[in-house]
Amino acid sequence: MSNHLKFYIDGEWVSPVAPATLDVIDPSTEEAYTAISVGSKADVDKAVAAAKAAFTTFSLTTKAERLKLLNRILEVYNERFEDIAQAVSQENGSPITWAREAQAWAGRAHLESTIKAFEDYEFTEKRGTTMVVKEPIGVCALITPWNWPLNQIVCKVAPAIAAGCTVVLKPSEIAPISGIVFSEVMDAAGTPKGVYNMINGTGPDVGQVMAGHPDVDMVSFTGSTRAGIIVAKTAADTVKRVAQELGGKSPNIVLPDADFARAVRKGVNACFGNSGQSCDAPTRMLVPADRHDEALAVAKEAAEAHNVGDPRSTETRLGPVVSQLQYDKIQRLIESGISEGATLVTGGPGHPENLNRGYYVRPTVFGHVTPEMTIAREEIFGPVLSIMSYKDEDDAVKIANDTVYGLAAYVQSKNLENARNVAMRLRAGQVSINYPEWDTFAPFGGYKQSGNGREYADWAIHDFLEIKGIVGYGE
């Protein structure tokens, strides 16, 4: 039986206090395919009370007990792997191959890396006669987005549990079904009642209530910078910890000695992954001024190789973007690129040919983009790449850092030592050199308006802990 109209609170699937529903739209058809219940303050109060009660005992469990639970969650997650992939594909439009190999895989990978990091994690440290103790912070409100649902759910839930915290999760109401399947995983894994709770609902009616709740000790939020500011302001009244992973406008510096064609081609692919709906997408490609036209030719060919279509097909490389709101925003920004004088290399406004139904966007590349243009400054969150020129290395770094964001940055060069030097000058929480594989043990989080705190592996466990110094503990 479907749990789409239920919440998971205190170890049970329950109906909302005040019945209300919201349609879930398939972005490939623009039609509702199911509905979820949406919660209210009364539901938040129930879930937080359950988490608070459970914290009393769960915070005192041993590392071995929590490790056993995490391993059991991983086991059940793997049993439900295909269900998770199918849910993500339908709710946010991910092509099914991408949903399996990236979306569902990310949840598994974060469970595995958290378990590995947890095995080696030390919760006490002697400093002379002082004992430093790392203790769970308490009840944690976790608010996750629609673009990478399992990635963000698991890289919050798993370290929180490792730390000994209890949680209330609010998945995105735009892509909520994978969160329901994950909650079924948590239930089947035998998670103690009240340790994990899940409520669906909107940001104002549930997320903001969670952020301001006096019995919530920490909020971990992933989403837009605009929404993150609201969460932080709401949480400030109760002086709780707020960890945020927010927006980005990530630069990709192609240095003169890079394998140029490869660097540009892979940069296009990285930008367009997940239909461009990634906060760390390399959306600003910086190339030497004297090779700008060469970059445009390579980028055009690479972009046009991205076939757009039905996410159910294993042949599809780009599915739709998630919603009408997102589609309209992307169209507005594409139009601004044209009106402000950027060179439209390929793509542009409107739907791709033969795809008039669904939130499909034409893979788009702009050239001769200058730093003051809207498409160089605003997070587009779609398959749109801006190619910009630089005069020399110092100019490239200056342009790269000229943004309110600082989540990710990318450097391409055959000279590894020089690439490292450039990476050190970039104001971003994660810098990738020469397109490495995804590292779920590397710290992930932002500088500036891209947020605060760090996720993944032991970095995330640390964020869910309080530090206690017991002075005079003795030898």
- Report pLDDT digits (tens) over 147-170: 999 999 999 999 999 999 999 999
Mean of the pLDDT values across residues 106-115?
98
* Predicted local confidence at residue 68, as pLDDT: 98
Query: What is the pLDDT at residue 191?
Result: 98
Which tens digits make up the pLDDT trace of 216-231? 999 999 999 999 999 9
pLDDT value, residue 315? 94
Asked whether residue 121 carries a pLDDT value surpassing 60, the answer given is yes
Query: Model confidence at 105, in pLDDT bands (50, 70, 90)?
Result: very high
Which of 91, 173, 245, 455 is flagged as catalytic?
245
Q: What is the mean pLDDT of the chain?
A: 97
Looking at residues 423-436, what average pLDDT do you find? 98
pLDDT over 60 (residue 1): no
Answer whether residue 475 shows pLDDT above 90: no
Q: Which of 155, 279, 379, 455 is catalytic?
A: 279
pLDDT digits (tens, 9 = 90+) for 43-81: 999 999 999 999 999 999 999 999 999 999 999 999 999
245 flagged as catalytic: yes
Q: What is the pTM of this model?
A: 0.97
Asked if pLDDT for residue 322 goes beyond 90, the answer is yes
Residue 6, pLDDT above cutoff 70: yes
Which whole number is the average pLDDT over 394-400?
A: 98
Q: Answer yes or no: are the C-beta atoms of 243 and 267 closer than 8 Å.
A: no
Domains and CATH numbers, the chain: 7-246+450-470 (3.40.605.10), 251-440 (3.40.309.10)
Q: Is 155 a catalytic residue?
A: no
The amino acid sitting at 94 is S
